Structure 1
Amino acid sequence: MDDLTAITVIEADGEPLEPFTSKHVLEIGEAVATNGAVLIRNAQAHGAEDFQRALTALGFEPLEYTERSTPRTKVGDGVFTSTEYPAREVIPQHCESSYAGAWPGRLAFFCVTPAETGGATPITDVARVLEDIPGEVVEAVESRGLRYVRNYGNGVGLGWRDAFQADGREQVNRFCAANGLEWEWLEDDCLRTFRQAPAIAVHPRTGRRIWFNHLVLFHQSSLPGDTREALVSLLGEDRLPHDVLFGDGTPIPDDMVAAARSAFERRSQRFDWRRNDLMVIDNMRWSHGREAFTGERKVLVAMSDLISRRTPVTY
């Protein structure tokens, strides 16, 4: 069932996508500023090329996907496939790159091919999520901070060459040094990185406190029980592809993460993709995820308006 109560829906009534977005750029921008999310429906379009032209009309300056966490294919200038995980897998709610040193302020999703069943991209208001999470959980993660631990090159998850789009170690060393990452090279050409980061942020335009982190997605409790047990047995607690600890390096209890996950589930809103749907969201107001699906789903994504932990900007 569709739930579009918090998303501004703009009907294109069969007009070509790029001229329509050019003509309605102010209306679209105002909708994103007001609600943080806008969905353009029933436009004519022909794949990635028309999506790219619509992005230009909307003032997107496409960003590269750096410090990657998931496999994607680049199909245009700053245009990527959405995460290429198996169709049976659910991707939990997250704000794009909230684990990183910099992240996009805006995201655009474009549906080339809707799934046969499922495959929605649910979104969740992260200010309301913060309000719903028990106070003791918020206090714990806010006062102690988070420590993201990632391992590359052990045969599970991305290798460091893909994650950092690097040919050699020196490129990775420079990136880590410039972007606030601790790192160490391990045996068998493996890399481990660490990042200290807050769990709570303040939206640069609205001033509202928001739940802005990758705890629900990166914590090892996000893995199915059997998979988690097998990976810990095979790799060890400190060699999982990704995990989130308290800032002092102690584990975050599963029940705390479950409380945050429940808040997302209560607040999540979803709709079924239609061909040529274009959704633009404020990445610091709405998280997103992915339902499992059947069929040949293809959704593209682009990112714009870089925000950095070191030099925040208003967008």
Structure 2
Amino acid sequence: MNVLNGIPLVEADGAELGDFLRTRAPSVEAALAESGAVLVRGASGDGVGGFQRALDALGFAPLEYTERSTPRSEVGDGVFTSTEYPSREVIPQHCESSYAGAWPGRLAFHCAVPAESGGATPVTDVARVLEDIPPEIVEAVDRRGLRYVRNYGSGIGLDWREAFQADSREEVDRFCRLAGLEHRWLDDDCLRTTRRAPGLAVHPRTGRRIWFNHLLLFHQSSLPGTLRTDLVGLFGEDGLPNDVLFGDGEPVPDDMVAAVRDAFDRRVQRFDWRLHDLMVIDNMRWSHGREAFTGDRRVLVSMSDLITRADLTQPDRPAPR
């Protein structure tokens, strides 16, 4: 099997994507089990319908997207647009929903319209990233854990109705209770949630220790330009749409986050999307992000194989120094 920038590559030679995967699903799944990522290239297709047939062939049982952190549109049964942020913005590396109590085990991305320039979905092996992060940072994150603080309804970021796909406070209360998510209703119909979670995990199949969190995407230092100081000035330190602290509530220093970002930058793998490309990744082996782009870009995504924190064993913590 060929490899493109570290990702196993399967050539479809013009076959319709769904038909191709009905016959080649075992080899694609074997590549995914071995490497945690696979790219199918050179297929033909017909948009959402072809993508859904491909998902069926791969045994996807598409998940709902709840406790959302980014705006998306559902364009088919369990098929969503990728994050609808402005094209100039870069989305840092993250494992989907690693801030939540449950997340998808597999993600599938399908390129319906490639960008004119940029717009790649770079991916990174989070077990290898862990090897490159300074040990003192790994030890601090592992020992102290992380705390995700999210605010909904301020006019910046998502409204709680969109984030939780709910029409009433009672529905949100029920979701939070079942998901173990601390929450508090604020003035002006706003909501604040807090979740303390480990920053590391053990992959349930490989047994490898991995970096599994939303530190890069949610940390204040990821906000572009002067937006960070503007938002803190408007809403206060605890009022940002998304933030991540140490589990004890102390801020994670910017220089620590910068060191983690450098580790990801050294390990990132990227390719330029082509029309009808399909990439499937193991969401606990590979993180993903998005480059800025020009022109039109339409990448679809679907999620499957729900994993909860109760499904995981925790990594052995290093001995105190």
For 2:278 and 2:252, the matched residues in 1 are separated by 37
For 1:234 and 1:66, the matched residues in 2 are separated by 28
Structure 2: which amino acid aligns with 1:255? D
For 1:225 and 1:14, the matched residues in 2 are separated by 44
Structure 2: which amino acid aligns with 1:253? P
Question: Contact 2:5–2:270 (CA<8 Å) still a contact in 1?
Answer: no
Matches within 5 A, 1:204-243: 204-243=204-243
For 2:128 and 2:260, the matched residues in 1 are separated by 11
1:302 matched residue in structure 2: 302
2:285 matched residue in structure 1: 285
Question: Contact 2:16–2:44 (CA<8 Å) still a contact in 1?
Answer: yes
Residues 270-291 of structure 1, C-alpha deviations (whole Å, 9 max, x = no match): 0000000000000000000000
Question: Contact 1:6–1:35 (CA<8 Å) still a contact in 2?
Answer: no
For 2:176 and 2:261, the matched residues in 1 are separated by 30
For 1:306 and 1:294, the matched residues in 2 are separated by 34
Residues 132-162 of structure 1, C-alpha deviations (whole Å, 9 max, x = no match): 0000000001000000000000010000000
Residues 282-309 of structure 1, C-alpha deviations (whole Å, 9 max, x = no match): 0000000000000110000000000001
For 1:220 and 1:299, the matched residues in 2 are separated by 27
2:319 matched residue in structure 1: none
Aligned partner of residue 43 in structure 1, secondary structure:
coil
1:179 matched residue in structure 2: 179
Return the offset for 1:131.
Answer: 0.6
2:316 matched residue in structure 1: none
Return the offset for 1:225.
Answer: 3.7
Structure 2: which amino acid aligns with 1:309? R
For 2:263 and 2:69, the matched residues in 1 are separated by 24
Return the offset for 1:312.
Answer: 4.4
Return the offset for 1:218.
Answer: 0.2
1:255 matched residue in structure 2: 255
For 1:131 and 1:8, the matched residues in 2 are separated by 22
Q: Does 1:158 align with 2:158?
A: yes
Label 1:86 to 1:277 Cα distance change in 2 as closer, same or farther (>3 A): same
2:127 matched residue in structure 1: 127
For 2:259 and 2:170, the matched residues in 1 are separated by 40
Q: Does 1:274 align with 2:274?
A: yes
1:80 matched residue in structure 2: 80
Q: Does 1:106 align with 2:106?
A: yes
Aligned partner of residue 38 in structure 1, secondary structure:
strand
Return the offset for 1:224.
Answer: 1.8
Q: Which runs of 5 or more structure 2 residues have no equivalent in the other structure?
A: 314-321
- CA RMSD, 1 decimal: 1.0
TM-score (norm 1): 0.97
2:56 matched residue in structure 1: 56
1:4 matched residue in structure 2: 4
Question: Contact 1:4–1:269 (CA<8 Å) still a contact in 2?
Answer: no
For 2:119 and 2:84, the matched residues in 1 are separated by 12
Aligned partner of residue 311 in structure 2, secondary structure:
coil
Aligned partner of residue 239 in structure 1, secondary structure:
coil
Return the offset for 1:311.
Answer: 3.5
Return the offset for 1:180.
Answer: 1.2
TM-score (norm 2): 0.96
For these two proteins, the number of residue pairs brought into alignment is 311
